[in-house]
């Protein structure tokens, strides 16, 4: 039997594959714009027959049918690593679950059986002439999910961009196939960077030398950073994800990967999150290599990139250098992602730099993001031992090799002026630690 015969024999419908899911199953999906909509809608349509099904994925955009409140106890959302706005309220109310795990470890937990995968639902391209489909925009943890699953289902989407790298899977490795055709869900349109974000972006850009390899995400601060890199030369990309802003710098000749020490000339990522323009750019583009998260986010792999600059955001930082990217006290807001992976990896490589960038205040200027100490229950995402550069609109603090007192002084110097006196007073009250 040829692969084409096998392909045809495995074609089915969304309604039929939805019936493969049993009560109590863990069903793993890709994130960002790669949602398998036909499967999701068919599964929700038969939710009255189910109980305790976990739908497991990281960030996922769009009007997700499995997040509807009336489905609780029948279909429960289990969030991996990252939390998006459409899931925060559910987690707050106890109607969704969260697994705090970094992107390097997430696939390993699946492969080792610590995170169960009963059903893996893939979003793939149509097969090539040899019967190989591509994972397209979202490799990340999905290869590990497919290798761990008892049942593998794939939506074959002719609008998924075929990408290069570690992206291939043969039709013989998947039990059930359904053909679909719809565009990838775009991210919500980004807001233009604020003046504060532009000031931060300008400071961060000063830490990026020609020939640096970048890790950065999306949002106001990363977009502002990218806008200040237009005069740089031969930048590279090794990152868990990238978005449209990277395309601008490739087209300007700023990002070439020409000086990368690992995968020279290649943009390396685990997943993509952007607009149709981004997906058109990566389509069959040999410059882009999509790879598994346990590779992209492995600190030992990250450290093979000389001159890596890892640029990340945070919710707050205390005066010792502890970083919180996840919660407001006990209330979950964002998640873990790959920041710890890159904080570690940047310490391994030659001339690596780990940069945390954040506005100095929140809540309209009423709250300082640089704080004497965290509220009870706050998550510490990055230990102070790994904190390197901290950037606000008021400047840059380099915490490498500094004592606790020196760290406090450096961080107070880049705090908002309205809060510096209060922070100094709090530091003096802890004379045994700071002064």
Tell me 387's DSSP state.
Answer: -
Alpha-carbon gap, residue 60 to 79, rounded angstroms: 10
Instruction: Name which of 362, 356, 374, 368 is nearest 318 in CA terms.
Output: 374
User: Active-site residue numbers?
Assistant: 240
Residue 8 tokens read as 């045809």
In the numeric block, the tokens 């237009």 are attached to 230
Q: Are 36 and 29 in contact (CB under 8 A)?
A: yes
- DSSP lists the bridge partners of residue 269 as 239, 290
**Nearest residue to 89 (alpha-carbon basis) of 79, 99, 102:** 79
Which DSSP letter does residue 164 get?
E
Are 50 and 21 a contacting pair, CB within 8 Å?
yes
Alpha helices in 94-172 (DSSP H): 105-111, 142-148
Report how far residue 225's alpha carbon sits from residue 210's, in angstroms, rounded to the nearest whole number: 14
């Amino acid at each position: 039997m040829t692969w084409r015969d096998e392909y045809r024999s495995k074609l089915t419908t969304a309604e039929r594959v939805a019936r493969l899911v049993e009560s109590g199953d863990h069903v793993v999906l890709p994130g960002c714009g790669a949602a398998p909509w036909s499967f999701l809608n068919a599964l929700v349509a038969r939710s009255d027959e189910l109980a305790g099904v976990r739908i497991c994925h990281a960030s996922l955009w769009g009007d997700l049918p499995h997040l509807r409140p009336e489905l609780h106890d029948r279909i429960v959302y289990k969030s991996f690593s990252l939390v998006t706005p459409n899931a925060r309220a559910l987690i707050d109310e106890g109607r969704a679950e969260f697994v705090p795990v970094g992107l390097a470890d997430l696939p390993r937990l699946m492969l080792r059986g610590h995170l169960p995968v009963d059903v893996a639902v893939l979003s793939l391209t149509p097969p090539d002439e040899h019967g190989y489909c591509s994972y397209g925009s979202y490799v990340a943890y999905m290869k590990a999910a497919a290798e761990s699953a008892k049942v593998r289902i794939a939506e074959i989407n002719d609008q998924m961009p075929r990408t290069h790298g570690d992206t291939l899977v043969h039709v013989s490795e998947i039990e059930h196939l359904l053909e679909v055709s719809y565009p990838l869900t775009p991210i919500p349109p980004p807001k233009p960077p604020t003046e504060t974000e532009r000031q931060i972006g300008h400071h961060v850009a000063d830490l990026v030398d020609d020939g640096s390899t970048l890790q950065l995400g999306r949002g106001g601060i990363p977009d502002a950073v990218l806008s200040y890199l237009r005069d740089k030369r031969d930048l590279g990309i090794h990152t868990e994800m990238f978005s449209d802003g990277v395309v601008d710098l490739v087209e300007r000749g700023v990002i070439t990967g020409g000086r990368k020490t690992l995968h020279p000339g290649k943009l390396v990522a685990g997943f993509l999150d952007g607009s149709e323009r981004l997906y058109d750019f990566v389509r069959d583009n040999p410059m882009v290599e999509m790879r598994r998260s346990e590779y992209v986010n492995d600190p030992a792999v990250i450290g093979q990139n000389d001159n890596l600059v890892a640029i990340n955001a945070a919710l707050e930082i205390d005066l010792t250098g502890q970083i919180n990217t996840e919660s407001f006290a006990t209330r979950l807001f964002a998640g873990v992602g790959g920041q710890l992976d890159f904080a570690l990896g940047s310490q391994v490589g030659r001339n690596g730099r780990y940069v945390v960038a954040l506005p100095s205040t929140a809540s309209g200027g009423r709250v300082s993001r640089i704080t004497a100490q965290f509220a009870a229950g706050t998550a510490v995402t990055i230990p102070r031992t790994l904190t390197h550069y901290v950037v606000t609109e008021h400047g840059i603090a380099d915490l490498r090799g500094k004592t606790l007192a020196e760290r406090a002084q450096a961080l107070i110097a880049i705090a908002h002026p309205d809060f510096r006196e209060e922070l100094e007073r709090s530091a003096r009250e802890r004379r045994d630690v700071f002064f």
